[in-house]
Amino acid sequence: MHHTSTGSTGNTSGPSRRSLFASAAGLGAALAVPAASGTAHAAAPNDAALRAVIARMTLEEKVGQLFVSRIYGHSATAPDQADIDANMTELGVRTADELIERYRVGGIIYFTWAHNTRDPHQIADLSNGIQRSSLTRPRGLPMLIATDQEHGAVCRIGKPATLLPGAMALAAGRSRTDVRTTGRISGTELRAMGVNQDYAPDADVNVNPANPVIGVRSFGADPALVGALVAAEVKGYQAAGVAATAKHFPGHGDTAVDSHTGFPVITHSREQWDTLDAVPFRAAVAAGIDSVMTAHIQFPALDPSGDPATLSHPIVTGILRGELGYDGVVITDSLGMEGVRTKYGDDRVPVLALKAGVDQLLNPPSMDVAYNAVLAAVRNGELTEARVEESVLRILRMKARLGLFQDTRVTRAGVDRTVGNKQHLAAADHIADRTTTLLANEGRLLPLDRRRQPKILVVGADPASPSGTTGPPTGVLAAALTELGFTATALSTGTAPTADAITKAVAAAQDADAVIVATYNVTASSSQRTLVQRLLATGRPVVALAIRNPYDVAQLTEVKAHLAAYCWTDVELRAAARVIAGRVKPRGKLPVPVARADDPAKELYPLGHGLSY
């Protein structure tokens, strides 16, 4: 596989094994058994050796280890000028190298919008540059490099990396083996690019169809199923040498508020939490999860103080560490989110999170404010240095288990062998083939026949690609159907079709033998309903394909054939096309129940529903 470099500077092979040992002053002894980089976890780390490392660190270095920061740019030392300007405005530094020099942060998080993830070679070069920057400083330590690569609706690294079905699609497939394979493939490719911590899987039990932030990111509404699949994905990631992260503790699955923009309240009782929300997190802990991410939600049954869970000692220390017996790394969700900033200022949030029992502080809006607030809290006695060291030890244990004290190097040759290779791409397609769910098929409208219905019109929503490298969905569907022997035409009508767009779609349908409508989160007032009704009135066969939430079928009961793909990325859409064309039989089963639109207390389709041919 070939990639185009985007011009990262420096030695692309990264820090050498010799220089790493020299700079880390004997840190290799922290591992009882060395692990091959990128293959699996090492043996249990030697706490005595790690404590000796901590004893040599300054207070400033210890505090820095607690932070995971964003940084703009494709290079650790020579980002584009626009990214330098953004870094100066938001972080007061020019580059990742300067960020590490000033704050000695323990980790960096990659974002697409921060221009960290242009292509696999560039990502590998950036990762090497970040590791080099940290390891070549006095008492230098390897870095945790993280991202949100959930697949499906949340994906920071796009093609040519392998993109796999998201959580709810995987749950429709009901295969633990497929889910573990997904984690292993994703983890193997991330590690090849120098990413060693993934903020996945989502362990929320999505029981609220109106949830605006979780939805298809969850494995579904059945806590036992979610728990089994969370454990499988954890094992897949961690077998590939990447730290998995179960999120969002204590459970973000039953909210109608997005914690990025508001402060959700979960009204479950303590008994409901035990039997519903807690189940996947218990499963993650039992599977040996490396890290757990907290939620910026209020959960009165667990802590009546009104504090977000991220800042709650009863939730983080009392329940997660005490009751669930978890002693690994706890990381906050982004500290720039509104849910954690509603009650306290940006200077108090990181201190209160540490007092609650958190270890890693993710992406504070101002590194200067957050870092100096923690330093001040130690110096004035609100936090003890021993408390900071407790979190640093957990973080170093995780780095040791990942084999980062042996070698952090990644190479372009390793990227070419691993990222988006033929075996991984083929596996993604095979996994996706087991996920598409046939919800309705009156009169056996599906599968379509290329001899009787050769001309297909594909209309509907074209939401933005999660990774910026896939889609548009109508075009992908039309291309896939054309490859399968149909003559398919795409016409984008958007998530809120205008009267003009609907008129054009109806006119185009006159020349088609069948119409496929890609729907996206249809509501009672959505003009997507009008589009479907007008297309049905043409008399042409209409197939509805829900490309995000599977609940769309409740608003479109007049459609005779309805499928759920659970996401609008290429791998899921191509699989849906194969089902529509009859090349693959639908095998998916609903991971959530679908309520009737006219009477939400009654089920239209139960959890586990799914038809076949």
pLDDT tens, 446-481? 999 999 999 999 999 999 999 999 999 999 999 999
Q: How far apart are CA 164 and CA 170, in angstroms?
A: 9
pLDDT, average across residues 258-272: 84
CA distances from 372 to 66, 159, 229, 606 (A): 12, 39, 40, 52
Tokens read off for 415: 């990227």
Q: How far apart are CA 581 and CA 545, in angstroms?
A: 13
Tokens read off for 221: 């509404």
Residues 6+ apart with CB under 8 A from 229: 167, 170, 171, 176, 179, 201, 219
pLDDT band with cut points at 50, 70 and 90 for residue 310: very high
| Predicted local distance difference test score (pLDDT) of residue 305 | 95
| Cα dihedral 398, 399, 400, 402 in deg (nearest 10) | 90
Query: Strands (DSSP E) along 445-573, which ranges?
Result: 455-460, 487-492, 514-519, 542-546, 561-564
Lowest mean pLDDT among 57-71, 175-189, 256-270, 391-405: 256-270
Catalytically active residues are 260, 333
| Predicted local distance difference test score (pLDDT) of residue 291 | 98
**HSE-CB for 414 with a 13 A CA cutoff:** 22
Pick the closest to residue 316 from 352, 362, 277, 262 (CA basis): 352
Which residue's entry shows tokens 């994905």?
A: 233
CA distances from 369 to 100, 296, 346, 350, 515 (A): 16, 20, 7, 9, 55
Which domains can be identified in the chain, with CATH numbers?
A: 17-418 (3.20.20.300), 436-605 (3.40.50.1700)
**What's this model's pTM, rounded to 2 decimal places?**
0.93
| Predicted local distance difference test score (pLDDT) of residue 40 | 59
pLDDT, average across residues 334-339: 86
Q: Convert 301-366 into a string of H (helix), E (strand) and C (coil).
A: CCCCCCCCHHHCHHHHHHHHHHHCCCCCEEECCCCCCHHHHCCCCCCCHHHHHHHHCCCEEECCCC
Mind listing the pLDDT tens digit for each residue in 270-283? 999 999 999 999 99
| Predicted local distance difference test score (pLDDT) of residue 346 | 94
| Predicted local distance difference test score (pLDDT) of residue 257 | 67
> In this predicted model, which residue has the larger pLDDT, 279 or 260?
279
| Predicted local distance difference test score (pLDDT) of residue 41 | 64
| Predicted local distance difference test score (pLDDT) of residue 469 | 94
Lowest mean pLDDT among 60-69, 329-338, 374-383: 329-338
Pick the closest to residue 161 from 118, 132, 198, 125 (CA basis): 118
Contact 27, 93 (CB under 8 A): no
pLDDT, average across residues 481-492: 98
pLDDT, average across residues 596-611: 95
pLDDT band with cut points at 50, 70 and 90 for residue 343: confident
Q: How far apart are CA 217 and CA 33, in angstroms?
A: 36
Q: How far apart are CA 386 and CA 373, in angstroms?
A: 17
Residue 520, amino acid? Y
Residue 17 has pLDDT above 50, yes or no: no
| Predicted local distance difference test score (pLDDT) of residue 137 | 96
| Predicted local distance difference test score (pLDDT) of residue 260 | 77
Residue 238 has pLDDT above 80, yes or no: yes
Residue 497 has pLDDT above 90, yes or no: yes
Q: What is the number of residues in the chain?
A: 613
| Predicted local distance difference test score (pLDDT) of residue 342 | 81
Mind listing the pLDDT tens digit for each residue in 127-172? 999 999 999 999 999 999 999 999 999 999 999 999 999 999 999 9
| Predicted local distance difference test score (pLDDT) of residue 43 | 61
Residue 351, amino acid? V
DSSP state of 274: I
Residues 6+ apart with CB under 8 A from 19: 135, 136
Residue 213 has pLDDT above 80, yes or no: no
Which residue's entry shows tokens 């494709």?
A: 74
pLDDT band with cut points at 50, 70 and 90 for residue 417: very high
DSSP-derived secondary structure for 248-262:
EET--SS-SS-TTTS
Q: How far apart are CA 62 and CA 332, in angstroms?
A: 18
> In this predicted model, which residue has the larger pLDDT, 260 or 77?
77
pLDDT band with cut points at 50, 70 and 90 for residue 307: very high
| Predicted local distance difference test score (pLDDT) of residue 29 | 46
Residue 24 has pLDDT above 80, yes or no: no
Tokens read off for 145: 């490099």
DSSP state of 468: S
Average pLDDT in the chain: 92
Residue 209 has pLDDT above 90, yes or no: no
Cis peptide before 609 (omega within 30 of 0): no
**Parallel, antiparallel, or unpaired: how do β-strands 144-147 and 149-151 relate?**
unpaired
| Predicted local distance difference test score (pLDDT) of residue 273 | 95
Residue 16 has pLDDT above 80, yes or no: no
pLDDT band with cut points at 50, 70 and 90 for residue 120: very high
Residue 1 has pLDDT above 60, yes or no: no
Mind listing the pLDDT tens digit for each residue in 61-102? 999 999 999 999 999 999 999 999 999 999 999 999 999 999
pLDDT, average across residues 534-554: 97
pLDDT, average across residues 549-553: 97
Beta bridge partners of 329: 291
Query: Strands (DSSP E) along 382-513, which ranges?
Result: 437-441, 455-460, 487-492
Residue 197, amino acid? Q
Tokens read off for 532: 């479907």
Pick the closest to residue 190 from 232, 137, 238, 252 (CA basis): 238
3-state secondary structure of 231: helix
Beta bridge partners of 155: 149
Q: How far apart are CA 150 and CA 218, in angstroms?
A: 10
